[in-house]
Structure 1
Amino acid sequence: MKELIFGLIGGTALLMYGVDKMGEGLEKASGDMMKKILSVLTGKVWGAFLVGAFLTAIVQSSTAITILTVGFVNAGLMNLSQAVGIIYGANIGTTITAQLMAFSFKFKLTDIALPVLGVGFGIQNLSKNKKLQNIGQALMGFGMMFLGLKILNSGIPFLKESESLKYFFTQYASIPIVGILLGAFVTAMVHSSAATVGLVMVLAQAGLLDIQSAICIMLGDNIGTCLSAQLASLNGNINGRRTAWAHTFYNLFGVIITLVALPLFVKFVVIVTARIQPASDISAQIANSHTLFNLVNSLIFLPLTKYYVAFLNKVIRPKNDAHMNEVYLDKLLLDTPVAALKASRSETIRGTQIVKKMFIDVMNFIFTGDMKIMGQIADDEVVINQMQKDITTYIVELSKRELIETQSIMVPATINCINNIERIGDHVVDISELCKNKVDKNLQFTDVADNELREIENVIVEMFENVVIAIEYRDKESIKRVAELEDKADNLCATFEENHIKRLDDETCNVDSGVIYIDVISHLERIADYIYKTAMLAKDELYGEKRKDCSH
């Protein structure tokens, strides 16, 4: 019994550690390629499905791919349909580890565990090339995985003799729901579906599990693997959470359907295995059940993705205020500077849209005197101030990474952008204070003054619309239009100040109102200046080019 316990503990630890290190090494070795493919992913869900399967087959960690996908969706680099497609594919790609384990049982590949471990150790410690070191780590993990399986395999005779284990697995684990819960719990605890499948294979080899019981644990294993993505999405935006729930609902649906048709699915697995692997054992059936479950599930969902995404959009709704929740920054992206900088731009665009709303609100406050608007502006300013802090912290953290020259230019430009946005917010708040003073003193602007302010408002709103396009797409026409509108805003402000001074001289305007009007005009001119400065950053530095001519 002592040998059994020690063998189970040590073998399981080696199996789990090996799977983890193999996945980590492969992820590092292919990390740049993997993240680059994900960051430029475009097209339809079928393409995303194939990319998900391909990348997970290389990395051998659906959890890593799913978590990275959540991060890319949070950053706005990928839409929900693409993310769902990647999840479908990742669930299939990760089953290759189970197939390798089944293959090792049949062809005694566990005997090469120590040589592979030694080769991996040598490569990792003797090579100076970082990529080769990562490949060495992956080989060490591969060897540890097989060594763990070998140790567990050596305990099979002891497992067969254990009456208590036989009783537990025949009386309890054979109940489908218990098997599913057991698989979900173990996988959630060890964060490795492959390790759970390996343990199930060993138990089945010992005769403690029949194929139906093993399949039930495998089904639970697919539920347990959703935990990591859920945890990764907790601090993300609404689409990041939808991506995590897409993974969870997808697996839950597959488990429920398979459970309802369990006898048919078991028969299907046995027949398919007998056809493609005539001399196979129960390990091959377990590995094939894992692959077939995910393959059938993806074939059901792929044609229905449009409806599935609509369902997710309807069921997973934003919490509280949308401004506070649509956050694009994700620490998962910091090791991928191109993605992190894109996320920062997306967050800056969000900030621009918030200050645009603040600006429209404050102009409405000028014309209506509705004091409720002041509270809304104050709330939005809190969001903008926090956003400035968050983006600056994020960019400073990014600057500690190894960046290429263009990215080093983009780092301060991004900070300057959000600083401009925050200053616009400050000017809007100052205007709201002037409006409050106007309301408190029961002052009015003349109709002519109101019309002048509306004219400037229209120009600045158009500037906001164009600067958003400029930041997002580096659109030359939008940048040019912002420069033209800034000239127009300056001219209007100068003309309207002169007009107002004439009205004061003619005594057609109250002096107190006149002072407030002049101050408002001054703030509007500064707002237009900051929008222009932001557009000029989008022209060059925000996209990694040194500042050229900023005259207009």
Structure 2
Amino acid sequence: MRSLPAAPPAFPNLQLSLLRIGVPVLLLAIAFSAFAVEPDVAAESPDWVQLFLGLFGGLALFLGGLQLLSEGMKKAAGQALKTVLAKLTTNRFTGALTGAFVTGILNSSTVTTLLVVGFISAGFMTLTQSVGVIMGANIGSTVTAQLLAFNLSAYSLGPVAIGFFMMFSAKREKVKYYGMMIMGLGLVFYGMGLMSSGMTPLRTYEPFLVILKGLENPLAGIAAGALFTAIVQSSAATVGIAIAMASEGLLALPAGIALALGANIGTAATTAFMGILSSKSAEATRASVVHVAFNVIGTLIWLPVIWLLADLSVWVSPASPELQGAARAAAEVPRQIANANTLFNVLNTVLFIGFTGWFAKMAERVVPDRALPPGVIVQAQYLDDGALEAPSVALQAVRLELGRVGEITLGMLRDVGPALRDRDLERIEDIARRDDEVDILEAEIFRYLGRIRVGHMTERESAEMQQLMVATDNLENLADVIETDMVALARKLVNIKSATEGETRTILIELYESTLKSVGLAVQAIRDNDQRAAESVMIMKDTIRDQSERLLERKATRLVATDDPDYLTLVRMQMSFVDQMRRIYTLAKRIAKVVLPPGIAQKD
């Protein structure tokens, strides 16, 4: 029996996880930004050291703040949003609205896409339905840009202080999560302010102004936006820098729109590229292909009429007629860029929402179902590396893979009955072979669980992880009972000439079917987190016990003295069969218990 790995630490160790992940980034940012003093605006040639320290220090704070904001949102609302996403995607329109809402809250279209992949794999959602959600996710990803356009950097240190105090002094998990969100938002605005002030001397630096003028060429701007997004792995950072430059009067609206369109392509293409490299799931790659196709086709449609998108964004944005020249541009263009980014994604969703079926078929043709590599017995289907960034999504992937292991184990037990009845040696050996598949997938699950970002888990996720570890171990033990004991029993039975009489045969079949049902319910319980199925397994305890005792009593009363070795061997085998059925039910019960609340599980 495999010894269980140590349970992961619970989320109260929040400070340690922040020190491990966020602090290095923030210290680097502070080291840069500490030297970034307010430069001389009138200087002809910028002080490049101070400029780059301010710009990249601000960018590091911006990205570190985005990470804190995203982590806080995922922890505060991740489970609830996962439920919303599963239930409100019955058609393409509600799917798009739900995708926009969930992504706006999670601050990550990538996490939304990962959730969608899990639902497709589980059969809760079709690929066609997922296309609407991915389109809506693009809309939700523009929320950050809308916030940045408010230019609240002057007040940003207030949220940083408040959030820090909440994170390190609050006792309740929810308050800590909200503190992460508030501190992250403050750091985002503070980083924006540093980037903006760092670029101030570039207002009069002619070579840089020429470069920015060149970005007004849509192709150049889109390429620059896509490239920068691929480097920093964040479309919000690209749009944020565009807004920061616009707030200094450095960037015109056409160039800002081109950068934003390129950022949309860059984030989708980067996600797709990483998914192709690391993903074992065809569904994950198809979702990435849909994301890329949606953004690229949308950009190609708007490319000839980018002036129209600019006019629309000006029309819906507030004006500042009391200002003139560069001051007016600095006041108006940041909001216009943010609105153009949102309009681009909203209008594309409206245009393409009727073609979700086409996008799904295109993705299926581009990414066919994957066959196993030569020589590979079995491969994990749901354990996608991309999901590791979001523990709740990764645990859902483990649950789905565990359900798959359960189906293999259930199939082994389901075939034991006919193999015993027909004394079919070929089928018996096939059952034994399938245990290798269970062993391989069990090892993959434990390895994947060990890679989940433990320091980023909530108490609930940490408890769920421990439950899945227990269930995986018990399911593997159950398969071992079938492969070792039941198969050995079946091999012996092949050489026995005696047959089981009618009444005993009936009781044995009833016991076997009850045990088979309990295993099926246990697999359903752990795969779907179904407490009703788990409760049904627990209730079957009396049935299994009564059927076992009936058979034992019958054999005790009908046992006769005989010299027939086959008869005595058959009786011993029947007793052993009863014992194995009870062991299998005990393991099924242990699997089901992990789904039930502690109070109910301890009653048994």
TM bin, normalised by shorter chain, reads 0.7 to 0.9
Q: Deviations over 1:359-388 (max 9, x none)?
A: 234445443635376256334334246527
| Residue number in structure 2 paired with 1:40 | 83
1:214-241 deviation digits (Å, cap 9, x = unpaired): 5454333212213347647976673xx6
| Counterparts in 2 of 1:159 and 1:57: CA distance versus 1, 3 Å | farther
| Residue 155 of structure 1, aligned match among 197, 202, 224 | 202
Query: Do structure 1's residue 249 and structure 2's residue 294 form an aligned pair?
Result: no
Question: Corresponding residue for 1:136?
Answer: 183
In 1, distance between residues paired with 2:221 and 2:454?
Answer: 48
| 1:273 corresponding residue in structure 2 | 313
For 2:406 and 2:313, how far apart are their aligned partners in 1?
Answer: 58
Q: Is the 8 A contact 1:420 1:530 kept in 2?
A: no
- The structural deviation recorded for 1:425 is 1.1
The separation in 2 between residues aligned to 1:305 and 1:521, in whole angstroms, is 59
| Cα drift, residue 467 of structure 1 | 3.2
CA contact (8 A) 1:53 1:93 kept: yes
Alignment of 1:487 with 2:545, yes or no, is yes
Output the CA distance in 2 between the equivalents of 1:433 and 1:190: 58
C-alpha separation in 2, matches of 1:219 and 1:500: 83
Is 2:135 the partner of 1:94? no
Partners of 2:549 and 2:280 in 1: how far apart? 41
Corresponding letter in the other structure for 1:355: T
TM-score by length of 2: 0.69
For 2:225, the aligned partner's letter is G
Q: How many residues align?
A: 521
Asked whether 1:224 is paired with 2:279, we answer no
- Deviations along 1:314-373, one digit per CA (max 9) or x if unpaired, are 745355377632449964454x5xx77766655544333221112234445443635376
Aligned partner of 1:299 in structure 2 is 350
Structure 1 length-normalised TM: 0.74
SS in 2 for 1:317: coil
CA distance in 2, matches of 1:289, 1:166: 18
Q: Is the 8 A contact 2:403 2:523 kept in 1?
A: yes
Deviations 1:210-269 (A, max 9, x none): 76665454333212213347647976673xx625642442342332243145223x1431
Determine if contact 2:229/2:235 at 8 Å carries over to the other structure. yes
Q: Which residue of 1 aligns with 2:459?
A: 403
Instruction: Give the Å deviation of 1:187.
Output: 0.7
Q: Which of 513, 519, 523 is the matching residue for 1:464?
A: 519
Matches within 5 A, 1:141-290: 141-159=188-206, 165=211, 169=214, 174=217, 176=219, 179-200=221-242, 215-226=257-268, 227-228=270-271, 231=274, 238=281, 242-243=283-284, 245-264=286-305, 266-277=306-317, 279=319, 283-290=334-341
Q: Distance in 2 between matches of 1:26 and 1:187?
A: 19
Partner of 2:480: 426
Distance 1:345 1:14 in 2: 41
Structure 2 Cα separation of the partners of residues 278 and 121 of structure 1: 29
Letter in 2 for 1:505: T
Q: Which runs of 5+ in 2 are unaligned?
A: 1-43, 171-175, 320-328
1:21 aligns with 2:64: yes
| Aligned equivalents of 2:603, 2:451: Cα separation in 1 | 27
Name whichever of 74-83 and 484-493 sits farther off: 74-83
Flag structure 1 segments of 5+ consecutive residues without an equivalent: none
Aligned residue identity for 2:227? F
